[in-house]
Amino acid sequence: MTASALAGVESLRTRDGYDWHSIRHHFDVRGFGVNANVAVEPGVIVEEHDETHGDGGQEELYVVLSGRATFTLEGEEVDAPPGTLVFVRDPAVKRAAVAHEAGTALLCLGGRPGQPFRISSWEYSRRALARAEAGDGDAAIAILEKALAERPRDPVLSYDLACFESLAGRREDALAHLKVALEADPSLVDHARTDTDLDPIRDDPSVPRPPGDPIGSGRQ
Amino acid sequence: MQAFGINAYSGDDGQTVIAEHDETQALAAEHQELYVVLAGRATFTVGGEEIDAPPGTFVFVGDPSTRRAAVAREGGTTVLAVGAPAGEAYSVGRWEPMAGFFDFYMRRDYEGGIAFLEECLRRDPGYPGTLYNLACAESLAGRADDALEHLRAAIEGEPKLRENAREDQDFAPLRDDPRFRELVR
C-alpha cells in the first residue's frame, strides 16, 4: 500500500501505555527507521534510553504531529507543541518524552550515519511482545523465528525468543536459544539472572541464577 | 543530520509542493521516500495514481523508479519528505547547498541566481547539478556562451542531463544555436 493514515497502521499497546505504530513495518521501509508513538492518556510516550547499546548508534529525530509533549534530553527539558522537531545526534544522550494529553502523536525517525539502514532487533521483539501480551505466544515466537532466520545468532532476538519459548513450555528450544544469546553477548547474563520469563527453565544449570542463589543452593 | 534526508515543503492551493520526479533520474540518489502531510491538504500522484492526502497522511514510495509529485490543495500545506537508499549508507545530497537558487529563479532574478550558483561552484566544484542550473540561468539571462560552456560541463559530469536539456524550456533561447543542438544530440 502506498498511502495510509496513522489509523491504518497496525497499533500495538506498549508496557508504558502508549500505542506504537510501526510505519516502517507497515510500508516495509528499508532506507531508514520510522515509527509513531501515540499517547492513550498523559504519560510516557518515549521511554528513557540512549542509543549506545544493542542496535544503537542511531541519530534520532522526533516530530510532534499532534498534542503536546515534554522531552528530556540529558536532563534538559524541552517543551514540544505540534510541529516541533527534536533532533538527537549523539547516541550517548539520554532521551525521554512525556505526553501531556491523550492523542499526542510523535513521529520517530532514525538511522546510523555512514551505514546502510538495518531493521532494529527491538522492532521484531516489540511486535512479538505485543502478540505475547495479547495472549498469542505462538505468534510472538513465529515473529522472532522469522527474524532470526534473517540474522542467525542475533543475541537480542535469540534472548527474547528464549523467553517466549520458556513461557510457552518449549524448554529445549528455550535453552538452545538462551545459550546462543549468552555466548553472543555475555552482557546479557546479568539480565538473565533476574528475568522472570526464564523462571520455567531456571532449574537447568546453564541458566544464570540470581546473585546469592547459585546452582545447588536449594532451588534445584 | 547524516543518517537520512529530511526536508519540509510548503505551498498554497495549487502550488507544487513535491516536484514531479523519480529517484533514478539524473542526479537522483535512488532513495526510498516517505512523505507526511503535516498541515493543509495535498494531492499526490504516484505512479499515475492520484492520492488525496489530508493532514496525517503517509505516502511511501519504495521503488526509486516510480514517478511521484504533489500539489497543495489548501493554503499553508506542509509536506515532510524523508529519504534514504535501501541497503546503502545515506550521504547528504550535493544539491542541498544550491537549493536557494530557485528563490532567485522564481523571481526571474537570473543574474542573482548566477552569482549564487557561482559561489556554490566555488564550494563544490564540478557538481553537475549546479553546472546545469547555472547554464539554465545564463541561457535565460542571454549569456549564451557561458550557458553552453556550463551545459557542456554538466553533461560531461552526468550524461543523463543531456535528455533533460533537450526538453528544458530554460534553453529555448539556445534552440537555434548549432552548438546547443550538437550538445544535446
- Quickly state the pLDDT bin for A216 (edges 50, 70, 90): very low
pLDDT, tens digit, 9 for 90 and up, residues B7-55:
999 999 999 999 999 999 988 999 999 999 999 999 999 999 999 999 9
Instruction: Out of A23, A61, A117, name the one closest to residue B58 (CB).
Output: A23
pLDDT, tens digit, 9 for 90 and up, residues A87-111:
999 999 999 999 999 999 999 999 9
Q: Which of B89, B24, B26 is nearest to B63 (CA)?
A: B24
Tell me if A3 and B44 make a contact (CB, 8 A cut-off): yes
Q: Are strands A59-66 and A105-111 parallel, antiparallel or unpaired?
A: antiparallel
**3-class SS of residue A11:** strand
Find the largest Cα–Cα distance for chain B. Answer: 51
pLDDT, tens digit, 9 for 90 and up, residues A31-77:
999 999 999 999 999 999 999 876 778 999 999 999 999 999 999 99
Using the structure block, give the residue that is written with the C-alpha cell 497499533. Answer: A11
What 8-state DSSP symbol labels residue A92? Answer: T
Question: Do B41 and B55 meet the contact criterion of CB atoms below 8 Å apart?
Answer: yes
Provide the ipTM. Answer: 0.86
Whole-number Cα distances in Å, B94 to A18, A146, B26, B98: 39, 39, 13, 8
Mean pLDDT of A18-39: 96
The overall average pLDDT reported for chain B is: 96
Cα-flanking dihedrals φ and ψ of residue B91, to 5°?
A: -130, 145
Least confident segment among A9-18, B30-39, B111-120? A9-18
Q: Which of residues 138-177 of A touch B (CB under 8 A)?
A: none
Tell me if B38 and A83 make a contact (CB, 8 A cut-off): yes
